[in-house]
Amino acid sequence: MEYSQDMYPFQPTWSTTRINLLQRCPRAFVLRYGLAKLSKNHPQGQLLSEVFQIQTPWILMHQTIRTVLLDYVEDHQIGTVWSHELLSIRFRRDYFKAIAERNQRVERLQKYGLTASFFHTIQPEEHLIKMGIESCIGILLNSVFQGLLSNGSIERMEANEFTRIRNIRMYCAPDLLHRSSKGLTIIKFQLYGKISRSKRIQQASLLQSYGNDNSEVIQFCLQRRKWNVHKTIPIARQRKQASDLVVLDLKQIETVFSKVEKNNDLTKIPLADSYRSCTNCNVKFMCPVRTGYENAKAEQRVLMCQ
């Protein structure tokens, strides 16, 4: 497999967020994983890195659910069990902090001369705080989650822990590893709504590589504030299918990078498939789509046919 090493960092690296972005919009993908990384010491590269870190209040609420639950489990392991009141206080504190950090990023962007209209500072929204607290309490009342807490030991995993499959560096870390007399169980919080059965099994098959071929994967899927629990022990065929898909994803990544030529010309990189992807896009201000999605598509078709 060949990569555009002279233009972009060597990329036999896979993560769910990376491939999701590529599928949503190849242009945003190249800006984030190509230009932003390549030119991180250049003001434009720094700008790109900053803007991609600005998240919506909705995403921040879900990220806070994850960190609060991981802190809860960690304290539980050393015998400190939080009351629901303490959990609510922690959630509120962490969400306020996440919003404050977001606002500081937005303020820093002003030094790049971006007009304030692209990014706004925001205030924490009470209904999101309530929703986040309810979701955290919901999983604490779940019998499967309670069973994991009361037996064996649990280790917290960091998102940047990677695994290797077929010599590919993969970032798809679980949230927790549980050890008991039954063996090693891999736990993942799936926070962003419904995923199809096939995607879920693909995710479980990749997660299993953080354990062994007998490890059970438990996915706690949050949908409309309710937790659905899925337990899977992926088999060899499923692991192979999942890693084949990763190899295909990497080919897509290679193809899109190879279209960017020496002058970092982005005209050959397709725009998002649908204007909906552009609605919350952080790099809209430097994309032809800012003047209208249909116009930008038409202009790009002409450029790509040259």
Cα of first residue to Cα of last residue in the chain, in angstroms, is: 28
**Contact predicate 171/13, CB 8 Å:** yes
Give the C-alpha distances (Å, rounded to integers) separating 246 from 16, 24, 141. 10, 17, 35
Instruction: Specify the residue, 35 or 271, whose C-beta has the smaller distance to ligand SF4.
Output: 271
Tell me the two tokens of residue 143. 């019998």
When asked if residue 92 is in the footprint of ligand SF4 (CB under 6 A), the reply is no
With CA atoms as reference, report the closest residue to 140 among 84, 88, 182, 198.
Answer: 84
Q: Considering beta carbons, is residue 134 or 192 the nearer one to ligand SF4?
A: 192
Residue 32 sits in the site that holds ligand SF4 (CB under 6 A)? no
Angle formed by the axes of helices 57-77 and 84-109, nearest 10°: 140
- Strands lying side by side in the sheet with 13-15: 13-15, 168-171, 163-165
Q: Does 48 bind ligand SF4 (CB under 6 A)?
A: no
Choose one: 36-44, 145-153, 187-195, 273-281; the region binding ligand SF4 (CB under 6 A). 273-281
Binding residue for ligand SF4, selected from 47, 60, 99, 281, defined by CB under 6 A: 281
Of the pair 171, 275, the CB lying nearest ligand SF4 is at 275
36 binds ligand SF4 (CB under 6 A): no
Number of residues that bind ligand SF4 (CB under 6 A): 12
Q: Least Å distance between CB 281 and ligand SF4?
A: 3
Answer positive or negative: Cα dihedral of 63, 69, 75, 78.
negative
Residue that has been written with the tokens 């720094």 in this structure: 46
**51-90 binders of ligand SF4 (CB under 6 A):** none
260 binds ligand SF4 (CB under 6 A): no
Instruction: Choose which of 203, 243, 277, 300 interacts with ligand SF4 (CB under 6 A).
Output: 277
Contact residues: ligand SF4, CB under 6 A: 25, 27-28, 271-272, 277-278, 281, 283-284, 287, 289
